[in-house]
Amino acid sequence: MRIRNGRTSSGPSLSQLDEQIIAVLRTNGRASNQEIAEQLSVSAATISARLQRREEARAMRVVAVSDFAAWGYDVIIAVGVQVQGRDAHEVGSELAKFPEVLSGNVMNGRHDLELLVALHDFAEVQEFLYEHISRVEGVSQIDSGVAVDILKY
Within-domain flag for 153: no
Within-domain flag for 62: no
C-beta separation of 59 from 15 below 8 A:
no
- What pLDDT digit, counting tens, does each position of 33-77 carry? 999 999 999 999 999 999 998 888 888 877 766 677 777 888 999
CA distance 25 to 28: 5
6 has pLDDT over 70: no
5 has pLDDT over 80: no
Domain count, the chain: 2
Is the domain of 109 the same as that of 140?
yes
C-beta separation of 82 from 112 below 8 A:
yes
Domain with residue 20: its CATH number is: 1.10.10.10
Is the domain of 74 the same as that of 46?
no
| Residues of the domain holding 46 | 2-56
Residue 26, pLDDT score: 84
Residue 57, pLDDT score: 85
Residue 17, pLDDT score: 93
3-state secondary structure of 90: helix
Is the domain of 46 the same as that of 73?
no
Within-domain flag for 61: no
- What pLDDT digit, counting tens, does each position of 77-136 carry? 999 999 999 999 999 999 999 999 999 999 999 999 999 999 999 999 999 999 999 999
Is the domain of 78 the same as that of 115?
yes
Between 134 and 147, residue with greater pLDDT = 134
Judge residue 42's burial from the number of C-beta atoms within 10 Å of its C-beta, 0-12 exposed, 13-18 middle, 19 or more buried.
Answer: middle
10 has pLDDT over 60: no
